Structure 1
Amino acid sequence: MTDLFDHPREVADDTASEQSAETQRRSERRRRAKRRAQRRRNAISFAVMIIALALLVGGAWVLVRPLLTPDDGPTTVSDYPGPGHGEVQVVIEDGASGGQIAETLVDANVVATSGAFISAFNANPDSASIQPGTYALQEEMRAADAVRALLDPASRADMVITVPEGVEAADIYERIATQLQVDVDDVQEATDEVAADYLPEEADGNIEGWLQASTYNIHPDDTPRSILETMVDRTVATLDDLDVPHEQREEMLNIASIIEAEVVLPEDRGRVARVVENRLAGCSGDRTIGMDSTLAYGLGIPAGEITKAQWNDASLPYNTREVPGLPPTPINSPGRASLEAALDPPEGDWCYFITVNLDTGETRFAETIEEHNENKALYREWLEENR
């Protein structure tokens, strides 16, 4: 009998095999597609990460770069080969940083770039010792040579005036005249001008005490007036820094100048300030502060040369044994430490003091006149033993 269906079981098996193979092929295609998609995602993630890192590094460089080189410096550090030529004067301001010095030198064509100077500045361990002042340098110097020149005192084109604490104005005039090689009368004339139109109103035209004890660089174009104005400016800056009210400034300079004249040991500044305050308040009964230094200043002689008649002369305005209150003006240029003592003396009932040993500076403070007389006896004993 003929098989009309041509072995249907075998046909079915073949069909199933073909379907299975097709399924496998589709599965493989799907797996390959997934792998390609995963690779694409990985590539995209990696690219995003690289871009983010680049942005992070770029942002950090933008923040850090100004710290490494001046804002206006060139991106490439270049330097003159040296040795330089000609002469140019540059002024290094007080407190100038390495970057600020670099800008000054670039402007004067001393060095080629700020970057070159800063590199040389950082490489020299002594560069922090560069002092403010006027320097005679050459144009087109090698940056390292410029740093060394700024460290060499021979390069200084200016002079220095030092005003120690406790120096009187008349001595300052002599120092200015000597440095500028002018007559002291020229300085006095400049003083009169400054007193008339430059001093703060609270000084009432009296310049004593307003010439800050400090060290000053004198530039080639300075005059007696410009130097005096600088000294006054520095005093005002100190008073501003200490928050001294304008109406108290003359009084504080006055008290500080007395402290400066009377104190031997720095640790006694505060107690001397308290004695002045207590005597002004009447601890001695008559509000006289009784300071030898004030009358010596008024007479223009050492305290040891004051006569008994002068001590008893109440017509002498600086005779604080006879005239109550502070003297008419400060008696010297006080330093900051004495100003700080005058502004904030320690608590205490001291009304008298005396230095009992001129070699060591030992000073005794007393609350009563009886104690003070005992201390005076100690001073007389010291004098007897050391004549």
Structure 2
Amino acid sequence: MIALVAVLVLLGGLGAWTVKNDGYLFGLRTPLAAADYEGEGGEPVVVEVPEGANGSTIAAELVEKDVVASAEAFVRAFGANPRAAAIQPGAHELRLHMSAESAVALLAENKVVRGGLTVVEGYTVEQIRQTMIDAGWPEADIDAALADPAALGLPEQAGGHLEGWLAASTYDAKPETVSAADVLQQMVALTLQELEELDVPADRQNDVIIKASLVEREAPDEYRGEVARVIENRLAADEALGLDAIDSYGRKKPSHQITSDEFNDKSFPYASRVVKGLPPTAIGAPSRASIEAVLSPSEGPWRWYVTVNLDTQETKFTDSYDEFLQFRQEYQAWAAENGY
């Protein structure tokens, strides 16, 4: 059985985001005392710093693992260390009961634990395959394992499609000691575990995975619930979803490279502007946050949305097509002004 390195599931998405220096979270603008351990700690513990983590998210993970005594002390030390902004994502070996200052300093050394395999939220099966090849697993072994989804524990309700069922996490596995099939089995098992923990019945699991993969690709962090609601509203209205992420996945190229004829090809099952319903498969590995958004979408009548500012990720939602066109013009104006 492969041991999973503890991983913090973020409300994050795709993209190689840098860890941000967030020294003034929790309102810590005064030198009030915060609980803190002394010294450089004791027993080793591996902690995952995910993509996009800032001071507060790292602090929460370290408090949970009893590495530091309080989030406040860590956030303050994070803000005081100029090297903290360069902390890299990945599995870091720290120690229990460290002072916040020592924990930040050790993280800033960026001695990422070797041998861990990280599957990023939103990764496709092909991206996971390439990640495993890059980590040293034999390509032939990976392909042989992927060719037999049932042997990996893929449930019948997945229809033989692994896409979306290989859980995003960090796995404590090395190609020298763990087979490709064993790693992939663990990914499927973790997905099933999360679905069971969230009480998703078997007959809903595949649709939930597909919808969550769409949310993962489409939604800025704080808007997962709203995007999940748009998907539900459009399905209920028997409308095509019109999500370019679906077309990009199916065509294996960015949306700006997809032609009008390709977008409108009704014979292509991933042509989301003209083919109604969900795509035949998921389009990547959803995070738990996206699964939760699908299970409990925000309440609202929205059927369209536009991210009008790519820097701030501000996204506007509407049930009016005319207002949607206004939002699109707002984005186009922002894009022109900012060189997009």
1:301 paired residue number: 253
| Match runs of 1:277-292 below 5 Å | 277-282=232-237, 286-292=238-244
2:279 paired residue number: 327
2:143 paired residue number: 188
Compute the displacement of 1:162 (Å): 0.9
- C-alpha separation in 1, matches of 2:198 and 2:128: 24
On the 8 A contact 1:280/1:289 being kept in 2, the answer is yes
On the 8 A contact 1:353/1:363 being kept in 2, the answer is yes
Q: 1:166 aligns with which of 104, 119, 122?
A: 122
Matched, 1:231 2:169: no
On the 8 A contact 1:195/1:206 being kept in 2, the answer is no
The structure where helix makes up a greater share of residues is 1
Q: Is the radius of gyration larger for structure 1 or structure 2?
A: 1
| Match runs of 1:123-272 below 5 Å | 126-127=41-42, 129-131=44-46, 159-183=115-139, 185-195=140-150, 198-219=153-174, 220-264=176-220, 266-272=221-227
- C-alpha separation in 2, matches of 1:380 and 1:92: 47
1:349 paired residue number: 301
Matched, 1:311 2:263: yes
Comparing 211-220 with 233-242, which one deviates more in the overlay?
A: 211-220
For structure 2, the 5+ residue unaligned runs are 7-37, 48-92, 96-105
TM, length-normalised to structure 2: 0.68
**Cα separation, partners in 2 of 1:172 and 1:94, compared to 1, 3 Å:** closer
Comparing 364-373 with 216-225, which one deviates more in the overlay?
A: 216-225
- Bigger relative contact order, structure 1 or 2 (CA pairs below 8 A, ≥6 apart): 2
**Cα separation, partners in 2 of 1:363 and 1:156, compared to 1, 3 Å:** closer
User: What is the identity, as a one-letter code, of the residue corresponding to 1:293?
Assistant: A
Q: Superposition RMSD on alpha carbons, in Å?
A: 2.9
2:60 paired residue number: none
**Cα separation, partners in 2 of 1:127 and 1:205, compared to 1, 3 Å:** farther
Compute the displacement of 1:198 (Å): 2.3
Compute the displacement of 1:156 (Å): 11
User: What is the identity, as a one-letter code, of the residue corresponding to 1:303?
Assistant: S
Q: 2:321 aligns with which of 369, 377, 383?
A: 369
Matched, 1:378 2:330: yes
TM, length-normalised to structure 1: 0.60
On the 8 A contact 1:295/1:318 being kept in 2, the answer is yes
On the 8 A contact 2:263/2:272 being kept in 1, the answer is no
2:52 paired residue number: none
**Cα separation, partners in 2 of 1:204 and 1:127, compared to 1, 3 Å:** farther
On the 8 A contact 2:149/2:161 being kept in 1, the answer is no
1:108 paired residue number: none
For structure 1, the 5+ residue unaligned runs are 1-90, 96-122, 133-148
User: What is the identity, as a one-letter code, of the residue corresponding to 1:382?
Assistant: W
Compute the displacement of 1:371 (Å): 0.9
User: What is the identity, as a one-letter code, of the residue corresponding to 2:261?
Assistant: A
Compute the displacement of 1:263 (Å): 1.2
1:84 paired residue number: none
Compute the displacement of 1:311 (Å): 0.9
Compute the displacement of 1:354 (Å): 1.0
**Cα separation, partners in 2 of 1:195 and 1:207, compared to 1, 3 Å:** farther
- C-alpha separation in 2, matches of 1:238 and 1:366: 32
Identical aligned residues as a percent = 38
- C-alpha separation in 2, matches of 1:345 and 1:278: 10
SS at match of 1:365: strand
Q: 1:275 aligns with which of 230, 236, 241?
A: 230
What are the superposed Cα offsets for residues 166-222 of structure 1, whole Å, 9 maximum, x if unpaired? 111101001112213422x43122111234662111111100000111111114421
- C-alpha separation in 1, matches of 2:292 and 2:260: 34
Compute the displacement of 1:358 (Å): 1.6
**Cα separation, partners in 2 of 1:262 and 1:94, compared to 1, 3 Å:** closer
After the TM superposition, which segments of 4 or more aligned residues of structure 1 sit over 6 Å from their partners? 155-158
- C-alpha separation in 1, matches of 2:4 and 2:163: 27
Task: Give the paired residue count.
Answer: 251
On the 8 A contact 2:137/2:180 being kept in 1, the answer is no
Compute the displacement of 1:164 (Å): 1.2
